[in-house]
Chain A
Amino acid sequence: MSLARDLLAGARDFLARAGALSRFFGRLLLLVPGGLLRPRLIVDQVYNAGALSLAIIMTSGLFVGMVMGLQGHDLLSRIGSEESLGTGAALTLLKELGPVVTALLFAGRAGTALASEIGLMRATDQLSAMEIMAVDPMRRVVLPRFLGGVISMPLLTGIFVAISIYGVQLIGVQYFGIDQGQFWSEMRSTVEIEDVREGLIKGFVFGVACSLIAVFEGYNAEPTAEGVGRATTRTVVVSAVATLVLDYIVTAILL
Chain B
Amino acid sequence: MSIEPNPSSGGKPGAGGEYIAALRGVHYAVDEKRVFAGLDIGIRRGEVTAIMGPSGTGKTTLLRLITGQIQADSGEVVVDGQDVARLGRADLYALRRRMGMLFQNGALLTDIDVFENVAFPLREHARLPERLVNAIVLTKLHAVGLRGAAHLMPQQLSGGMARRVALARAIVMDPEILIYDEPFAGLDPISMGVVMRLIRSLNDALGISSIVVTHDVQEVSQIADSSYILSEGRVMASGTPRELQSHPSPIVHQFLEGLADGPVPFHYPAPDYREQLLGPGGGAG
A: residues with CB less than 8 A from B are 120-121, 124-126, 128-129, 131-136, 140
Contacts and interface: CB of A to CB of B under 8 A. Distances in A.
A82 B105 CA distance: 65
Given A134-B93, A134-B96, A126 B110 contact: yes
A134 B107 CA distance: 15
Contacts, number: 51
The 10 residue pairs across chains A and B that have the minimum distance between CB atoms: A129-B107, A125-B107, A134-B93, A134-B96, A132-B101, A134-B97, A125-B103, A133-B121, A135-B124, A126-B107
A132 B67 contact: yes
22 contacts: A120-B110, A121-B110, A124-B110, A126-B107, A126-B109, A126-B110, A128-B103, A129-B109, A131-B69, A131-B96, A132-B67, A132-B96, A132-B99, A132-B100, A132-B101, A133-B96, A134-B93, A134-B96, A134-B121, A134-B124, A135-B124, A136-B93
A135 B109 CA distance: 13
A126 B162 CA distance: 13
B69 A128 contact: yes
Contact of B105 (A124, A131, A136, A140): A124
Interface of B: 67, 69, 93-94, 96-97, 99-101, 103-105, 107-110, 120-121, 124-125, 166, 169, 173
A68 B104 CA distance: 55
A118 B82 CA distance: 32
A37 to B, nearest CB: 13
Contacts of B121: 133-135
A125 B120 CA distance: 15
A3 B153 CA distance: 52
Contacts of A129: 101, 103, 107-109, 166
Contact of A140 (B69, B93, B108, B124): B124
B168 to A, nearest CB: 13
Nearest to B99: A132
